[in-house]
Structure 1
Amino acid sequence: MIKVTIDGIVTEVPEGTTILQAARQIGGEIVPPAMCYYSTLKNSGGKCRACLVKVAAGSAKDPRPMPKLVPSCITMAQDGMVVENITNPSVLETRKGVVEFLLLNHPLDCPICDQAGECDLQNFAYEHGMSKTRYEEERRTFEPIDIGDKIKLHMNRCILCYRCTYVADQLTDNRVHGVLNRGDHAEISTYIEKAIDNDYSGNMIDVCPVGALTDKTFRFKSRVWFTKPLDAHRDCPKCSGKVVLWTKGEDVLRVTARKDQYGEVKEFICNECRYDHKDMKHWVVEGPRHIDRGSVIAQNHYEKIDLLKLKQDVERQLKFQAGKQLDANNTLSA
């Protein structure tokens, strides 16, 4: 085990843990945002630069700071490492630049995008972005296309995080899509005359952090905050069968895999569960899905309060604030 200090909070993690994973072990506000990293997908991370942090001390053996900001998702933590995330002004300023680059070609179509309300880029831009853009050139544009019988691709919204290609590589053995061309001409597309039809293709929609890949069976049916998410399961021979039912009354509008607090799927589901069982009688409903209070999906969403979890969240927040105050006092003393 090694000890790492992130924004004044010390945590102990196994050797081989990345800075981002160490921050997630602490939780709260100090966790860097991630647009391309996905813990359940091998080789993901290191592309969007959203998770850049400052390493103020490399390790106990070599306490020199790293000269540049480093991506926390692929940088291994060292014993005695000191990391600055939200306490470092240069990190926060850099994130504004990262948001600006991600939005250079991204259309402002949140009012009509099915991903609105559960979009990682929307949250990232709200927390770190600017109110206006300096970009004056013409944005690149693509026509929406069908890359499968149930998947619509809006390449205008894509940020080239590569998550969908990793899902296809690691869940199936017949990937037929990928990143074509280079530079500002790069785009996600299928190979000539190919359509995505494997049994786990719907997971591409779940891992997409923006509205580039959408479910054609759910498009324009309802805003996500008007639906009621329910945890449910069924006996499925192909996958775990553990899903979230997005319902309106007794109607199941869509079925998705369950995501953790960082928006990552731990157990991928098959297309049969996703598309072929949109009837409440096919499922064993476990209860309301827990939704973070800061999410717009929490509107009109009621569930029993987990007092233990609430106490842990408050204690973590108080510990974080105490660490910030200690840093401020040390700075003034110096």
Structure 2
Amino acid sequence: MSEQQLFKVTIDNITIEVPAGTTILNAARQIGGEVAPPAMCYYSKLAGSGGKCRTCLVEVSKGSEKDPRPMPKLVASCRTTVMDGMEVKNITSEKVVDARAGVVEFLLLNHPLDCPICDQAGECHLQDLSYEHGKEGTRYEFQRRTFKKHDIGPYIQLHMTRCILCYRCVFTADQLTSKREHGVLDRGDHAEIATFIEKSLDNEFIGNVIDVCPVGALTDKTFRFKNRVWFLKPVEAHRDCPTCSGKVTLWNRGDEVYRVTARKDQWGEVEEWICNTCRFEKKQTSDWVIEGPRLVDRHSVISQGHYAGSVGMHKPAETFAAVNDGRSPKLMMDIHDVSKVNRNEITLSLINGPAHSTNFNSTKD
């Protein structure tokens, strides 16, 4: 059996070897960090996804060793495969930075600025994209398009006004279920995700469209407006499920399970699909075997300040003694002599409980 052919590709001055047929986006993801272009429509687990949102545009400054000419236009990294000796610019290209800002502005033309009331806030890919690659203001002065909210089943609500037409949910329903009952209707500015004649989506795996949606267009009706994700603690859990793997992330506040989602990787993609029973009907801690805290490997408010020490976070060491030859801090002056507020024999910080009037001087100077 012949060895797999490897191609050398340089992305933002970092060289890596990847198998032939690898896309520029996936090669950049192997490098990681800011070298990896953002993606709003591409999903590695969904065949046919990508090539629609244009947020992953990159500049190919050298096509290959055999043909070193640069590509004349920016290309979608999720659909362009690498060639041996290819050189790519992502964050090091002014063209890419400018084009990406334009794409973000285009995506936000009709998107409502309702982050304060949107359940996706705090874990929204469009929020991250606009913050990192967008512009400060908007030039759009016209009325945004709006749609009515639709319940497309007992557990899912579709708010088409927020949709950016990434098609992820369409591919998910098409590839995870036996028959597809929703898709894109109309064209251009009138295009929308919809079911056939308001039909309900009730397939056992249809809840996964919520996880793949990069914005707040498809939301969990059992979780809507109940809590903010940054107030919840994500923990890994599993159960013996006959339908799916049963491996999920529970979002708890105290002992209460507010929602259940599939586990996601550092790119925000589902690791294993889960069924509706696990997602919507198992909302008791006793239904699950808790494994431990879930590390949210994203630049999100969810990962800030959670589980200090248990997911690689460490409390900073005290440096005072190190810079003062091992001496401990000491009081530089006696505050009692200066303030003349509380009695000299009482140190307020050592009082067992709150301070009362008896702890302060009642005499006047």
**1:300-324 CA distances to partner (integer Å, 9 max, x unpaired)?**
41142449xxxxxxxxxxxxxxxxx
Query: Unaligned stretches of 5+ in structure 2?
Result: 1-5, 314-365
Which of 158, 172, 184 is 1:179 aligned to?
Answer: 184
Which of 93, 114, 119 is 2:98 aligned to?
Answer: 93
- 2:295 touches 2:311 (CA, 8 Å); kept in 1? no
CA deviation after TM superposition for structure 1 residue 235, in Å:
1.1
Q: 1:210: which partner in 2?
A: 215
CA deviation after TM superposition for structure 1 residue 194, in Å:
1.4
Cα 1:241–1:131, aligned 2, differ >3 Å: closer, same or farther?
same
Q: 1:27: which partner in 2?
A: 32
d(CA) in 1 for partners of 2:297 and 2:227? Answer: 20
Q: 1:244: which partner in 2?
A: 249
Q: 1:317: which partner in 2?
A: none
CA deviation after TM superposition for structure 1 residue 173, in Å:
1.3
CA deviation after TM superposition for structure 1 residue 237, in Å:
1.2
**1:102-123 CA distances to partner (integer Å, 9 max, x unpaired)?**
0000000000000000000000
Q: 2:237: which partner in 1?
A: 232
Q: 1:312: which partner in 2?
A: none
Name the SS for the 2:211 alignment partner. Answer: helix
Mapping 1:297-312, distance limit 5 Å: 297-302=302-307, 303-306=309-312
Mapping 1:1-334, distance limit 5 Å: 1-292=6-297, 294-302=299-307, 303-306=309-312
Where has structure 1 moved over 3 Å in runs of 4 or more? Answer: none
Percent identical among aligned pairs is: 69
AA partner of residue 112 (structure 2): P
- 2:212 touches 2:270 (CA, 8 Å); kept in 1? yes
d(CA) in 1 for partners of 2:298 and 2:209? Answer: 26
**1:14-60 CA distances to partner (integer Å, 9 max, x unpaired)?**
11100000000111111000000000000000000000000000011
**1:74-99 CA distances to partner (integer Å, 9 max, x unpaired)?**
10001100000000011000000000
CA deviation after TM superposition for structure 1 residue 276, in Å:
1.3
AA partner of residue 179 (structure 1): V
CA deviation after TM superposition for structure 1 residue 143, in Å:
1.4
AA partner of residue 304 (structure 1): S
Cα 1:227–1:9, aligned 2, differ >3 Å: closer, same or farther?
same
d(CA) in 1 for partners of 2:206 and 2:94? Answer: 41
Cα 1:166–1:268, aligned 2, differ >3 Å: closer, same or farther?
same
Cα 1:266–1:145, aligned 2, differ >3 Å: closer, same or farther?
same
AA partner of residue 254 (structure 2): G
CA deviation after TM superposition for structure 1 residue 226, in Å:
0.3
**1:224-282 CA distances to partner (integer Å, 9 max, x unpaired)?**
00000000111111111110000011000000000000000121000011011111111
What is the RMSD computed on CA atoms of the aligned residues? 1.1
Name the SS for the 1:50 alignment partner. Answer: coil
- 2:152 touches 2:201 (CA, 8 Å); kept in 1? yes
TM-score (normalizing by structure 1)? 0.90
Higher helix residue share: 1
Q: Which moved more, 1:116-125 or 1:169-178?
A: 169-178
d(CA) in 2 for partners of 1:293 and 1:184? Answer: 32
CA deviation after TM superposition for structure 1 residue 299, in Å:
3.4
